Amino acid sequence: MTRHLLNIVDFTVDELQLVLELSTRPVEALARPLDGSGVALIFEKPSNRTRQSMEMAVVQLGGHPIYTRGEEVGIDKREPAEDIIRILEGYHAMVAARVFSHSVVDRMAAVASVPVINMLSDVSHPLQALADALTMQREFGTLAGRTIAWVGDYNNVARSLGEVSVMLGAEIRYACPDGYGPSEHEIARLSSLATGDAHAGSDPSWAVGGAHAVHTDTWVSMGQEAEVEERKRVFAGYTVDDSLMSKAADNAIFMHCLPAYRGLEVATEVIDGTQSRVISQGHDRMHAARGALAFLGGVR
Ligand code: CP
Ligand code: NVA
C-alpha cells in the first residue's frame, strides 16, 4: 500500500518515533533512497522554509526536486488534481503539494501510486510539526510528561502540533479566543491518539502556566487575508510577551513556525530573546523533511 503524509496521524506512534530518529541520522547513513528519482513540489501559496528545506532534503537523499508554482499547474483550474497526479507519478518517486484546500491532497492521495506529501493545507502542516518535535526533543530529551502551550489561533500548525505532542506523550494546552479554538470533539480526538493529553480554554495565562514550551503562529493564515482587521481585534490580548512568558516554567522555550509578525502574535523581546528557538526550529525543517522522505522512501 502506498504511504502518504497528509497528517501526522498517518504515522503510528512507532513510525513517528522512527521518522524523528531518521531525521537525526547523518545524511550519509540514509543510503540515498531517492537516487536518480524526481520529487515534484507544487506550491499554491508562498514559502521560504518549506520549499528550501524540501529541495535540500531531496538533494541530500540523492533525488532531484522540481518546484512548480500553483498558477502554473492550475490545480482544478487547468486540469483536475487527479489528472495532475496521474501524470506526475510517471516522472517522480513522490509528489508534495502546498494547497489551499486539504481536500486536494486527499484527492491526490486517493489516486496516487507514489507517496503524496502535504506541505501545508488549511487543515494541517505535518512537516512543521515534525520539526517542532525535533527541536523540543533536542531541548528536553523527550516530550513525554512535558507541557506545551499554544496561544492564538487553532490553525493548521496548531492541529499538527497537537497530534505530534499527544502521540509523543506530552500535554498540550490551547488558549484561543472563543470561536477560534478546537471543538470539544477535536480535543477528544487529540486526547485519544496516545498517552499524551489535550486541553483547551481561552486564557493564555492558564495555558502558559508552568509550560515547558510556548508556541504561537500568525493570527492570519494564508488565504484569510480578508479577515485581517477582524482578527487583529479578536486576538488582541493573545500576544506572547515577556509578562506571559514569565508564567511558564523556568527555562521555558518559545517557538514559532515563522513567518512571524512582531508586535502582533509575539513581542519582539520574546522572539528575539534568549528563550526563543525559532531559528533552530526553522533549521530543523530540513532535517525533519529528510527523515520523512527517507521513511516514505523505504529507509528503516
Ligand atoms: N513555516 C513554514 O512553513 O514556512 P514557509 O511558509 O516559509 O514555508
Ligand atoms: N498558519 C500559517 C502557517 C504559515 C507557515 C499559514 O497557514 O499561513
3-state secondary structure string across 136-202: HHHHHCCCCCCEEEEECCCCHHHHHHHHHHHHCCCEEEEECCCCCCCCHHHHHHHHCCCCCEEEEEC
Give the H or E element holding residue 292. Answer: helix 278-296
CB atoms within 10 A of CB 13: 15
Nearest CA to ligand 1 atom 6: 47
**Catalytic residue selected from 49, 92, 107, 125:** 125
CA of 152 relative to ligand 2 center, distance in Å: 13
At residue 104, the pLDDT reads: 98
Ligand sitting nearest the alpha carbon of 255? 1
Task: Provide the pLDDT for residue 18.
Answer: 98
Cβ neighbors of 180 (< 8 A, separation 6 or more) are 152, 153, 154, 234, 235
Catalytic annotation on 125?
Answer: yes
Per cent of the chain over pLDDT 70 is 100
pLDDT of residue 42: 98
296: its cell numbers: 516514505
Q: How far is the CA of 205 from the centre of ligand 2 (A)?
A: 24
pLDDT value at position 167? Answer: 98
Residues of the chain with pLDDT under 50: none
Distance from C-alpha of 219 to C-alpha of 217, rounded to nearest angstrom:
6
Instruction: Say whether 275 is catalytic.
Output: no
Could you report the per-residue pLDDT of 112-170, keeping only the tens digit for each? 999 999 999 999 999 999 999 999 999 999 999 999 999 999 999 999 999 999 999 99
Q: Is 176 a catalytic residue?
A: no
> What is the Cα–Cα distance from 63 to 57, expressed in whole angstroms?
9
Give first-to-last CA distance, the chain, whole Å: 16
Task: Output the nine-digit C-alpha cell for 184.
Answer: 470539544
Residue 223: per-residue pLDDT: 97
For the entire predicted model, the pTM comes to 0.98
